[in-house]
Amino acid sequence: MKQYYAFLKVIERGSFTKAAEELGYTQSAISQMIQALEEELGTTLIYRSRKGITLTADGEEFLPFIKRVAYSHAELMEKAKEMKGLASGNIRIGTFTSVSSNWLPSLMQDFKKLYPFVQFHLQQGEYTSIVKYIKEGSVDFGFVNPDAAEDLETIALKEDNMLAILPEDHPLVSCPVVSLEDLAKEPFILLEEGEINEPLEAFKKQGLEPNIQYRVIDDYTIMSMVESGLGVSVLSEMVMNKVRYRFVIKKVDPPITRTIGIVYKNKKTLPIASRYFIDFMIQKLSAAR
C-alpha cells in the first residue's frame, strides 16, 4: 500500500520532493513507488515537466479508485489497532450494589466470551461518589440515576421499582400494600445514595418525614438489619433477587421508582473497550425487555 499513499501525497503536495520529506523517504524512493504503481496498473499516471507535475488522463481516471483503496486500508488498519487495544483493554466502571450484583456479572461473562483478555475494574459507590469518580477520571463510566449527573452525558436504561422490606413479625405484614405514611412512623433504615435519594424524595412529596434511625451504604447490610428487627426500609426490587435473608417484601403506596442509567463525560473520548462494552450492554438490555 505504500505506493498508493505515496501517489496521493505527491498529488496533494504537487511535488516529489515535498512528498518525500513529509513521508520520510528519499525522492528516489518516492519515484520508485510511483513507478511500481504505474507498472501495476499498466499505464502512466503522472506527467512531469519543468512546471511541475500533472495527472495524465489515465491518472485522472484512476485517482478516485486509488483514494478509495488507500482510505479503506487506513480504516482497516485503524480498526486493527482498536481491536488490539480492546483485546487487552481495562474497563473501569463506577457502580452500586444492585447493578454490580445483578446486571454486571452475566454481562461481563458474555463480553469476555467475545474479548477474553479484557479486564474489569469495579469501583463501588453511590450516586454522588460515582459522578465524582467519572469527573475526576478514576472510572470510564458509571451507573447512576441520570438526575444526579449534571454536566455529563447519560443514557437511561431501566425503570426500577422500589419496595418496602419488613421484619417477618412486623404488624404491617398483614397489609397487602404499605403506605409511605405507615412507613414514616416506623424506625427507618436509609440507604445512603448521595445527593439524590428516591425514597426520601417520595416521602417529601407526601409531606412526610421518616423516622430515620440508621444510615447505611450497603443494601445487604440493610437486609440483615431488617431481618434482625431493627427497622424497615425501602430498597430496589432488583437488588432483592437471589437473596436468602428472611424478611417480607411489600409494594409501596404511592409507588416509588428510580431510573438507572449509564453516565460518562464524552463517549468519543472513552477507551475503545469501554465504548464496546457500553454498546454491548445497551444491546443486551434492550433485547431482554
State pTM to two decimals: 0.69
Instruction: Kindly report the length of the chain.
Output: 289
Predicted confidence (pLDDT) at residue 77 exceeds the cutoff of 80: no
Predicted confidence (pLDDT) at residue 89 exceeds the cutoff of 90: no
* Comparison of pLDDT for 157 and 85, the residue scoring more: 157
Q: What is the pLDDT of residue 83?
A: 67
Question: In 3-state terms, what secondary structure has residue 27?
Answer: helix
Instruction: Please list the residues that pair with 262 across neighbouring strands.
Output: 143, 155
Q: What is the pLDDT of residue 82?
A: 65
Nearest C-alpha neighbor of 100 from the set 142, 146, 161, 160: 142
Instruction: Please list the residues that pair with 164 across neighbouring strands.
Output: 234, 250
All structural domains of the chain: 2-86 (1.10.10.10), 88-157+260-287 (3.40.190.10), 158-259 (3.40.190.10)
Average pLDDT, the chain: 90
Instruction: Please list the residues that pair with 48 across neighbouring strands.
Output: 53
Bridge-based pairing state of the strands 177-179 and 248-253: parallel
Q: What is the pLDDT of residue 199?
A: 95
Q: What is the C-alpha to C-alpha distance for residues 189 and 24, in angstroms, rounded to an integer?
A: 68
Nearest C-alpha neighbor of 146 from the set 280, 240, 264, 287: 264
How does pLDDT run across 279-288, given as a tens digit for each residue?
Answer: 999 998 777 6
Q: What is the pLDDT of residue 102?
A: 84
How does pLDDT run across 25-67, given as a tens digit for each residue?
Answer: 999 999 999 999 999 999 999 998 888 889 999 999 999 999 8
Q: What is the mean pLDDT of residues 208-234?
A: 96
Nearest C-alpha neighbor of 149 from the set 125, 161, 124, 132: 132
Predicted confidence (pLDDT) at residue 93 exceeds the cutoff of 70: yes
Q: What is the C-alpha to C-alpha distance for residues 156 and 143, in angstroms, rounded to an integer?
A: 10
**Residues of 241-273 as b/e, b for ≥16 C-beta within 10 angstroms?**
eebeeebbebebbeebebbbbbbbeeeeebbbb
Give yes or no for a cis peptide into 254 (omega within 30° of 0): yes
Predicted confidence (pLDDT) at residue 142 exceeds the cutoff of 90: yes
> What angle, 0 to 180 degrees and rounded to 10, lies between the N-to-C axes of helices 27-41 and 16-23?
110
Q: What is the mean pLDDT of residues 155-162?
A: 91
Q: What is the mean pLDDT of residues 146-175?
A: 92
CB 263 within 8 A of CB 281: no
C-alpha dihedral sign at 122, 126, 131, 136 = negative
How does pLDDT run across 178-187, given as a tens digit for each residue?
Answer: 999 999 999 9
* Comparison of pLDDT for 77 and 276, the residue scoring more: 276
Q: What is the pLDDT of residue 240?
A: 86
